[in-house]
Amino acid sequence: MTKAKFSPVLGRYVTIDVDGEEYKVFYLENGAGQPLVCQHTAGCHNHQWRGLLEDEEITSKYRVIAYDLPRHGKSDPPLNTEWWKEEYKLSAEFFVKFIVTLCDALELENPIFMGSSFGGNIALQLALHHPDRFDAVIPVEAADYSPGFYLDWWHHPHANASQVCASGVWDLMAPQSPDKDRWATWFYYSQGAEAFKGDLHFYSVDHDLRGKLEQIQGDKVKVIMLTGTYDYLTTTEDGRRTASQIKNAEFIEMVDIGHFPMSENYEVFKKYLEQALNSIQAVKA
Amino acid sequence: MTVVVENQWIQRFTELNDSNEELNAHGKFFTCSYLLDMESVQVLIDMHEGKVKNINLDPGPLDAYDFAIRASEDTWKKFSMPTPPPMYHGIWAASFQRDMKLEGNILVLMQNIRCLTTQLEILRVSGIPV
């Protein structure tokens, strides 16, 4: 009999209350050390962080926690409300409150927060509104403002929403990324049209930090932005411009990779992530 | 471009399309017609159930199609490179960041977006008739 191969990654639910709404949140975790909290991209789920979660080099130093935002993956919509009677439109206010409540529930001390795309944008919001709660943030594929992607095409009833969503993000990835990982990312996006559009309400409409970046206390919360050269939504110019307006912030351009670096090509992403983590530790030394 | 060379390109593109494993697996409903406008050359592609029904490199003003994808010759040349540079690597990227325009019945485009995306990447193997 072949010996089974078990992953060290463990999944668990935690129930939290945000503004009177009850959420049973699913998260995956592995490792020990400073918490590294990871937010998936819009319309997706925590499996995007599979490479990082099983990376022994990183998890020997960090407790990697990747959760599913409510309505994504294994985290349902709120348990105690008739959520189906309202159109889902993610707001900056809820998103920030949810993440801080989750980190409090897990009793995380000095966490580093990392997210990609709308997860990167919320990282900037966290740095602005909660500089004392996070040791650092790593906004990946983020910008002060990212209009233009809140589109009805994501769930047009006359088109195949799962294929429109998945193919709409296909060329957010770099052609150099491995086929198997690009198709895995495509597959994730074939699963959640309604959540995708609702998430993009935050990404392209409610998130607007233009004129507010100078208020981020970069001396309290280190900000290190990472952007791939093949990202057509938040380009390297957007990332560089945004970082340049935040005190002490750094910007790292990621070559030959796109908007989903952690799932489309983890080996390439890892090089840049290590650079960011080393920079965060250097500040503390 | 001579007629002979044009015909060779049409034959090459058709063979690559019709033997594409992904299109064979998912192209059952890929039936539509569309125009690739490359400035000096226009390519009218007529698809039927995932296979090339006809390709017209000299469409007339009254030849009908569902939607058009228009861009400069330079953009199409970069788009069709084996490894395209950033922002020329897909119709979304080139529309958001470069001069590509999606026109006509976009609903039909969206209904066929998966197969269309795959089919346009064949241009990176076949080259373009410009």
For A204-259, write each residue's pLDDT tens digit: 999 999 999 999 999 999 999 999 999 999 999 999 999 999 999 999 999 999 99
The residue of chain B with its CA nearest to that of A187 is B114
Question: Nearest residue of B to residue A228 by CA position?
Answer: B86
Are A74 and A56 a contacting pair, CB within 8 Å?
no
Q: Nearest residue on chain A to B121, judged by CA atoms? A: A175
Considering CB atoms only, which of A148, A168, A229 is closest to B86? A229
Contact B92 A230 (CB under 8 A): no
- Cβ separation of B96 and A232 shorter than 8 Å? yes
- Is A158 in Cβ contact with B93 (below 8 Å)? no
Task: Answer whether B117 sits within 8 Å of A235, measured CB to CB.
Answer: no
User: Å from B83 to nearest chain A CA?
Assistant: 7
| A175 vs B contacts (CB less than 8 Å) | 83-84, 89
Query: Is residue A227 packed enough to be buried (19+ CB in 10 Å), middle (13-18) or exposed (0-12)?
Result: buried
Residue A223 bridge partners (DSSP): A137
- Testing the interface with B: which of A167, A227, A254 to mutate, by most B Cβ within 10 A? A167
Over pLDDT 70: what percentage of chain B?
A: 98
Which residues between 66 and 125 in chain B have a beta carbon less than 8 angstroms from any beta carbon of chain A? 83-84, 86-87, 89-93, 96-97, 106-107, 110-111, 113-114, 117
ipTM: 0.92
Three-state DSSP state, A72: strand
pLDDT in tens, chain B (130 residues): 567 788 999 999 999 999 999 999 999 999 999 999 999 999 999 999 999 999 999 999 999 999 999 999 999 999 999 999 999 999 999 999 999 999 999 999 999 999 999 999 999 999 999 8
Handedness of CA B4, B10, B11, B13 (dihedral sign): positive
Q: What is the pLDDT of residues B14-36, one digit of tens each?
A: 999 999 999 999 999 999 999 99
Instruction: Give yes or no for residue A86 having a pLDDT over 90.
Output: yes
Entry pTM: 0.96
Among B96, B106, B117, beta carbon nearest to A170: B117
Closest approach of chain A CAs to the CA of B119, in angstroms? 13
Q: What are the CA-CA distances from residue A248 to residues A44, A218, A220, A263 (Å)?
A: 31, 5, 10, 28
Cβ of A229 within 8 Å of Cβ of B91? The answer is no
The whole-angstrom separation of Cα A159 and Cα A151 is: 13
